[in-house]
Structure 1
């Protein structure tokens, strides 16, 4: 039987890295469902960057994961096309650079919905078809463990994701579904494209390895966690030794 994987927010950044790592190790009949938000051009670029064989394994579905209704449409399509899921990667996440006093309720709520509330209900809706012994991975963040000044709401939601990861272990124990999270630090993604050299230098001084991480380094670790049969309830840091000295 084919292995079925779902990745939310999988056409860019860390999500894309994880998707491509899974594709590189997939079988001929495996299927990978990948959600994307509003950037159709980016999704098409991701698709066409893959080999012809891997393109046949991909199912790209547009879904705004700040919306419960769009998440449910995403789930409905998956349930129509498959009766099982092996791996679920809850990767989608958004943020904004804003001071605490500048947040609006609407902005705060959209980030909370995307990063926390909708992922909670995605797991709930998919739980009946996740296979016994399946694997769930959340993309958390070291910002959920170490307060950063750039985005309060992002850190709050990622801290909640870490707690959710541990809490779901008991909820999913009857089906022996493993639940883990990764907590990346500063990773070289488009989120940092507007940083000044001075900003990079300031952050790198706080990292023991004196550099940002690569997407491939995070994807490699994520893949190993997904397939590890004994990891459960773990939050795995990958931050190059941030703030260790």
Structure 2
């Protein structure tokens, strides 16, 4: 069977003004899907705030994005409410408000359950659930009515994966939070949706699937017979965050090439 390929040219016809005048916050924005989403929203006219725990990575990301005063890169740990307070204060001072939040920051620890430590548990829950919850809570005073929140979940909460028990559980919590927040924030017209990426070519994927043989096995699990790109996830986030998805709310959108729902031919 011929391997399907990703044709980036098909995605070049985006609306360069779709986010004109909008301000977006992206947690975990220095690498991978967060960085690709920052690039996408900047290209579509947004002002963007990226945050992460590593100042060096943020500096490199800001240099790559090269967006001048339309970009603000600030270090913050989303699991620490004090960091989020400082972050939101800086966003208010620089841009005044938010229109989009992409709660993307997260970590992955992949082991069998007997191998997990309490430290592993705390670090994954803090980043993948506590961090998402408090990112939204602290962003609310800055979010305009009618804004959009997108939460990064994962295909793993749709299937059982032996080494993914803790990671998938936190992503299931984030996906369920999407549904409840869609109801909770409806009086302000704030839409809340999630993306659930599959195998995406990011640092986390390469670290958790370190060998060529393991990556080939992952690729074979995907109906499209390829690993996804961060840019494909960014396109889905941009759709959900935009007015094009104005009647889409409480949805968990799989961006996984079919791995969760279909069996490869």
Same fold (TM over 0.5): yes
Q: Which residue of 2 aligns with 1:234?
A: 251
Contact between 2:155 and 2:197, CA under 8 Å: does it hold in 1?
yes
- Does the alignment pair 1:69 with 2:85? no
Of residues 170, 175, 178, the one that matches 2:183 is 170
Q: Write the distance in 1 (CA, Å) between the matches of 2:94 and 2:64.
A: 25
Q: Which residue of 2 aligns with 1:222?
A: 237
Deviations 1:49-68 (A, max 9, x none): 124xx132111110122323
Contact between 2:110 and 2:167, CA under 8 Å: does it hold in 1?
no
2:79 match: secondary structure: coil
Contact between 1:75 and 1:122, CA under 8 Å: does it hold in 2?
no
Q: How does 1:30-179 map to 2 (within 5 A)?
A: 30-38=46-54, 40-51=55-66, 54-179=67-192
2:65 match: secondary structure: coil
Q: Write the distance in 2 (CA, Å) between the matches of 1:42 and 1:123.
A: 23
Deviations 1:166-198 (A, max 9, x none): 001111011100000000010111123352121
Q: Judging changes above 3 Å, is the alpha-carbon distance between structure 1 residues 161 and 11 closer, same or farther for their aligned structure 2 residues?
A: same
Q: Write the distance in 2 (CA, Å) between the matches of 1:3 and 1:210.
A: 36
Contact between 2:198 and 2:255, CA under 8 Å: does it hold in 1?
yes
Q: Structure 2: state its 5+ residue gaps.
A: 1-19
Q: Write the distance in 2 (CA, Å) between the matches of 1:225 and 1:31.
A: 17
Q: Write the distance in 1 (CA, Å) between the matches of 2:125 and 2:143.
A: 25
Q: Write the distance in 2 (CA, Å) between the matches of 1:121 and 1:64.
A: 11
Deviations 1:35-77 (A, max 9, x none): 0112x222222111124xx132111110122323222222232
Contact between 2:32 and 2:203, CA under 8 Å: does it hold in 1?
yes
TM-score, structure 2 normalization: 0.85
Contact between 1:95 and 1:111, CA under 8 Å: does it hold in 2?
yes
Q: Structure 1: state its 5+ residue gaps.
A: none
Of residues 15, 22, 25, the one that matches 1:3 is 22
Q: Which residue of 2 aligns with 1:19?
A: 38
Q: Write the distance in 2 (CA, Å) between the matches of 1:118 and 1:208.
A: 32
Contact between 1:136 and 1:179, CA under 8 Å: does it hold in 2?
yes
Q: Which consecutive aligned stretches of 4+ in structure 1 deviate over 4 angstroms post-superposition? A: none
TM-score, structure 1 normalization: 0.92
Q: How far apart are 1:83 and its partner, in Å?
A: 3.3
Contact between 2:132 and 2:174, CA under 8 Å: does it hold in 1?
no
